[in-house]
Amino acid sequence: MEKPRILLLNASTNENGHSREILRLCEEELSGLGCETELFWIGPHHISSCRICGGCRDTRACVVDDVVPEFTELAKRADGFIVAIPQQRIKSEASIASFASRCIYSAGEVFRLKPAVCVTAALRTGDSLGRKRMTKCFSDAEAPLVSALYWNVRSSDEGARALRKDLANVNALYNAVRDMVYFVRCRQAGREAGVAEPERAGSAFSLPHSY
């Protein structure tokens, strides 16, 4: 059985903040589970919304020259995804929503049947709205969502490394990672056993003709 390849998305404007520390914890657990990881930082700049130009219909990639086509290209060879994002970026400028929706419109098939974990870092534990916005994007791409007993990860004014002091944070991340890897390996085992994955009844990712 091949090593699972997990794509980690740092969706913060800060390359080395709380979101990156969350992914470091995930990387450590994934390594112990025999997985390969690849890290993608979304960058500090605002991401524009879909132009509804239809250019992705033929290319199956967004024609806007920014981080979206770069990320979807990496997603093709990934078996699962972990997204870490601060609540502030979800709520400001709709930049992350634009990123996720453009990924789905242009290349949604590369996420299909690949489990995803979405973690938001919040000063308080009640950032359910932000998490729902991100998880909806994955569910719209037919990607199974991996949940946890304790969400969200609680950030701290003490700095990113303080995340490790909270065992609830650490255990929640480790459990979600383990669950995701389990589903990835189940999919691999099914393929090796000759279990055919469900055929799609046509494409659901092309833009409506009325656009």
Cβ-based neighbours of 196, under 8 Å, separated by 6 or more: none
**How far is Cα 26 from Cα 37, in angstroms, rounded to an integer?**
10
C-beta separation of 150 from 179 below 8 A = no
Query: What does the angle CA 16 – CA 19 – CA 117 come to, to the nearest 5 degrees?
Result: 145
Task: Give dist(CA 180, CA 83) in Å, integer.
Answer: 12
Is residue 34 within 8 A of residue 3, CB to CB? The reply is yes
Are the beta carbons of 64 and 114 closer than 8 angstroms?
A: no
Confidence (pLDDT) at 74: 96
210 domain residue, yes or no: no
Q: Does some domain include residue 197?
A: no
User: Which residues constitute the domain of residue 155?
Assistant: 5-192
- Does residue 110 form part of some domain? yes
Question: Residue 139 contacts by C-beta under 8 Å, 6 or more apart in sequence?
Answer: 145
Contact partners, residue 31, CB within 8 Å, separation at least 6: 37
The answer to the question of residue 171 being in a domain is: yes
* Residue 207 placed within a domain: no
Specify the pLDDT at position 113: 95
Judging by DSSP bridges, how do beta strands 153-154 and 5-10 pair with one another? unpaired
**What are φ and ψ of residue 15, in 5° steps?**
-70, -25
Q: What is the CATH number of the domain that holds 180?
A: 3.40.50.360
Report the 10 Å Cβ neighbour count for 155: 24
What span, in angstroms and rounded, lies between the C-alpha atoms of 206 and 196? Answer: 25
- 36-41: strand order across its sheet: 36-41, 5-10, 80-86, 116-122, 153-154
pTM of the model: 0.87
198 located within any domain: no
In a domain, 149, yes or no: yes
Does 177 map to a domain?
yes
Averages of pLDDT over runs of 10 residues in the chain (211 residues) are: 94 89 94 97 89 87 92 96 79 71 90 92 60 78 83 61 78 92 96 92 53 39
Question: Which of 74, 86, 79 minimizes the C-alpha distance to 36?
Answer: 79
Query: What's the pLDDT at 8?
Result: 98
As for how many domains the chain has, the answer is 1
Tokens coding 142: 């037919």
